[in-house]
Structure formats: C-alpha cells, structure tokens
Amino acid sequence: MNVNAITLPQQDVRKLLGAANADAALLYLYIAAGNDPGKAGEDLRLPDSRLNCAGAILRQLGLWPEVLPTKILAGERPNYSENDVLDAMERDMDFRSLYGEVQRLLGRNLNTEELKILLGFVRYLGLPGDVISLLVCYCKERARKRGSLRNPSLRTIEKEAYQWAEQGIDTLEAASAYIQTQNQRESQMTSLMSLLQIRGRNLTAAEERYAGAWLTMGFDADAIREAYERTCLNTGGLNWAYMNKILTRWQQAGFHTLEQVRAGDQKNLPKGASGQLGEAELEAIQSILQEG
C-alpha cells in the first residue's frame, strides 16, 4: 500500500468535514496517496457495505478520481411494449412484487405506460428492486419538502432514476449515502435561503444554480453573509449576479472565511483608500456595469 506524501486542497477538506463520514475521508486519503481504489476494501479492511457507502459519498462530493462508465450513455432507450410488461408480470416474480410495492408507496394503481417505465428501471438501468423502492421513497419525500400534496409521477421518478444509474448508485449502501448527502445539502440550502432573507417561496432554477455553486465552493456562513451584506449595500438588494461575482473572486483568491476575506481586502487596499469596497466588489460593479 502506497503512503506517498499528499497535500490536501482546502476545498476538499471542507467537503470531507462537511460530509462527516470517517470512511469517506479514509478512502479519499487512500486514493490521494496513489493507491488503486479497487484494492481499498482489502487494504483498509472495510466491508463492501461501508466501502460502497464511502465511494458514493466521494462521488457526490466530486472527489472521486475517475468518471465511471455507464451503460446508459450509449444507444437509445429501449421502447418496451405492452406484451413485455405482461410477460414480466407473468414470469418475473421479483418484478411483480416490485410492481405491488411501488403501487403501495404511491397509493394508486400504475397504468401500462408507467409499468413500461418501471420495467426500464429493472432491465435497462439494472436497478435492484430494493433500490427502486428507496428511490420512490426519496422522490416522495422530496416532493413533500417542496410543498407538493401529490406523490410524484413515474416520469418524475424516472429522471431521478437515470441520475442514480449514471452515478453508479445501484446498491442500498450507495443509495443511502446519496440520500444522506442530498439531505445534508438541502439543509445547507435552507440555511442559505434564511441567510439571504428568502422566505415563503422556493428558489428558481437559476437561483438554485447560483446557491449550489456557492455551497460547493466551500464558504463558511460568515463569508456568505458578508458577501450578501456587501451586495445589498452596493446594489440596494440581493443581486444574484453581483453576489456571484464577489464569491467567485474570493474563491479564485482562496478566501473561504470572513477572516481571510477581510485580510485580503486590507492587503489589496491602495494607500489612502477607505476600505469600504473590496477588490471583488469593485470587479463585480465594473462587470455588471459593462453588461448593462
């Protein structure tokens, strides 16, 4: 087993600490030291369940060293017929059991088109029945959190199923790790919305992209609050593009805490400057004025 000296990027450390999973941190160090991920279970003495969970967390954090090939990237999706569904219902006891479980979870009968989608989860995406059941539960809970009083459609669940398959989420351990990471991210997003004084509504798609990027950058709450306050002070309110310019500039400079931001502002101040605007704000103002 290699034990090469490694340097951990600050952003990676923040992600690992935020995940709060010792196995994921251990696996990250193992791979960063130049070891083969395929031998991690033996070298680290981790059972498959814990190893799969740790790997899934690293993939969710964007810390896995390789892009996993997936069978769904090549070719077109199969078009199952009604006869395919009837045959599966008659011959495949596991599918029949899954069909009943999904109907129970969604509280309604599935029509033929929905059964074709469900058959695709099994035959095309290769997802086990227990993982599909967990997928449905996850989509139900996500819909509830977003204020929907109705259970999600199979089409909605299908979109999530393809994302799971693309990320190699095909075991209960990997699915549980993914859901844990997503729940943690949702909690962080809720805290961020509170910090930005956003209440009584969901973020738009564009706003969610901005917010997600800021969370991924690894800023602490005080740094984001400072960027928000400077944005409001200089623009009169929350200007997403303006605030993004500030945070992107801080990210490029390696500033992720309020102390780092203020130290950087002082360092870059010319003589006689008041210090009311930092370099990132000046750059943001100039950029937005040019865009306008």
User: Is this structure's pTM higher than 0.75?
Assistant: no
Chain segment 240-249, per-residue pLDDT in tens: 999 999 999 8
The pLDDT profile of the chain, 292 residues, written as one tens digit per residue, is: 777 777 777 777 877 877 778 888 888 888 888 888 878 888 888 887 788 778 777 876 777 765 444 444 444 678 899 999 999 999 999 999 999 999 999 999 999 999 999 999 999 999 999 999 999 999 999 998 888 889 999 999 999 999 898 888 888 888 988 898 888 888 888 899 999 999 888 888 889 889 988 888 888 889 999 999 999 998 889 999 999 999 998 988 888 899 998 888 777 655 444 444 566 666 666 666 565 5
Q: Give the pLDDT confidence of 3-54 residue by residue, as tens digits.
A: 777 777 777 787 787 777 888 888 888 888 888 887 888 888 888 778 877 8
- What would the DSSP string read from start to end of the chain? ---------HHHHHHHHHHT-HHHHHHHHHHHTT--GGGHHHHHT--HHHHHHHHHHHHHHT--SSPPP-GGGSSPPP---HHHHHHHHHH-HHHHHHHHHHHHHHTS---HHHHHHHHHHHHTS---HHHHHHHHHHHHHHHHHTT-SSPPPHHHHHHHHHHHHHTT--SHHHHHHHHHHHHHHHHHHHHHHHHTT--SSPPPHHHHHHHHHHHHHT--HHHHHHHHHHHHHHHSS--HHHHHHHHHHHHHHT--SHHHHHHHHHHHPPTT---SS-HHHHHHHHHHHHH-
